[in-house]
Amino acid sequence: MKPMNCPAHCLMFGSMTRSYRELPMRIADFGVLHRNEQSGALTGLTRVRRFQQDDAHIFCREDQIEKEVVACLEFMKFVYDIFGMSYRLELSTRPKKALGKKELWDQAETALAQAMDKFAGEGNWRENPGDGAFYGPKIDIKVMDAMDRVHQCATIQLDFQLPIRFDLRYRKKGGANGDDSSSADDESEVSSTTTNDDGDEEDPNVLPPDFARPVMVHRAMLGSVERMFAVLLEHYGGKWPFWLSPRQALVVPVGKSFVPYANQVKDRLKVAGFHADIDDSSNSLKKKVREGQLAQYNYILVVGEKEETNDSVAVRNRNNEMEGEKKIDEVIAEFRILSETFQQDVLEDGL
């Protein structure tokens, strides 16, 4: 059980001698995390004790910080554009209780500010003084749902402290007489604590001249999957876009004699990779369609004698708008387009 992935990724980086040629090194983890939150702080899916996080850590050189942070911001934009959510950026700076020297904090905050200027432009983000993590400043991405409610999901954090705490290092360019290759002797040398001429132990964080500290970038795009699911529920109001919907199509036969054909249609949709169900109850057609709409099926496919003869279906969307008769192969092709293009509003655009 672990509350975070950062220490494990630091140990992975520090398990062998690293060269500047290996940076940036990106390590991602989508594992299960546990945090013993106070019972009064637990809230639905937004704060739980066991969760999964799309966590990643990037170990890079100082001259690579801006490029890596901008790449993280572009990744974030790609993700939230697909969800159809807007966002705003905030730079959270050094809190009162913080690790490390103020000079390192200033350097980290400047690097993040430059990256945000490059990504969003000057004046298109705001500063949030004193709200950084205890180990480094961070970029908070405040996401707005369809009702303009604000949610904290994605985050990008810059960390100079953990590399010091875990004594992480890499061989600089031109180090070891211009040779950046590693050896068993190098391993033992750089992992041991240095001593002075009198035999007294020196600061273990002092690096040999051939080595430098990496900078660590923490990034999560969704945050916890559980919290993101709750946010998306609020954003879509239960009306999931087709590509994300667990109820994409409901096949409705107009009578019992057309149930076998309705099952064939359902099976063809499932083989094509779509979520499809059938309502073969004895309810009236009107009631079946209404219940399908209330269950938020994106599309209701009505079949009868004409549709069975023509190998087709009569298409309605969940707004109860008739889209006419279409061949099953045509419907499958258009469903694929909806899935592949992450179309947001199938209610207006339809097929």
Give the pTM.
0.81
CB 338 within 8 A of CB 273: no
Q: From CA 120, how far away is CA 123, in angstroms rounded?
A: 8
So which residues are the catalytic ones? 6, 35, 53, 55, 57, 138, 218
Segments making up each domain of the chain, as ranges? 6-236, 242-349
Beta strands in 75-114 (DSSP E): 86-92
Number of alpha helices (DSSP H) and beta strands (DSSP E) in the chain: 12, 16
Q: Per-residue pLDDT for the chain (351 aa), expressed as one digit of tens each?
A: 888 888 999 999 999 999 999 999 999 998 898 888 888 888 888 888 888 989 999 999 999 999 999 999 999 999 999 998 888 999 999 998 888 888 888 988 998 999 999 999 988 999 999 988 888 899 999 888 777 888 888 889 998 889 998 999 999 987 655 554 443 334 333 333 344 444 333 445 688 889 999 999 999 999 889 989 988 988 898 899 999 999 999 999 999 999 999 999 999 999 999 999 999 999 999 999 999 999 999 999 999 999 999 999 999 998 888 999 999 999 999 999 999 999 864 434 444
Q: Which of 117, 156, 110 is CA-nearest to residue 133?
A: 156
Q: Is the dihedral of CA 75, 79, 82, 85 positive or negative?
A: negative
Looking at 1.10.3720.10, 3.40.50.800, 3.90.550.10, 3.30.930.10, the CATH number of the domain 242-349 comes to: 3.40.50.800
- State the pairing for strand pair 276-278/215-224: unpaired
For the residues of 114-157, what is the DSSP string, one character each? Answer: HHHHHHH-TTSSEEETT-SBTTB-EEEEEEE-TT--EEEEEEEE
How is domain 6-236 classified at the architecture level of CATH?
Answer: 2-Layer Sandwich (3.30)
Give the model's pLDDT for residue 188.
36
Give the model's pLDDT for residue 2.
83
Q: From CA 119, how far away is CA 219, in angstroms rounded?
A: 16
CB 303 within 8 A of CB 313: yes
Please write the tens of the pLDDT for every residue from 315-330.
999 888 899 999 999 9
Copy the structure tokens of residue 62.
Answer: 């100082």
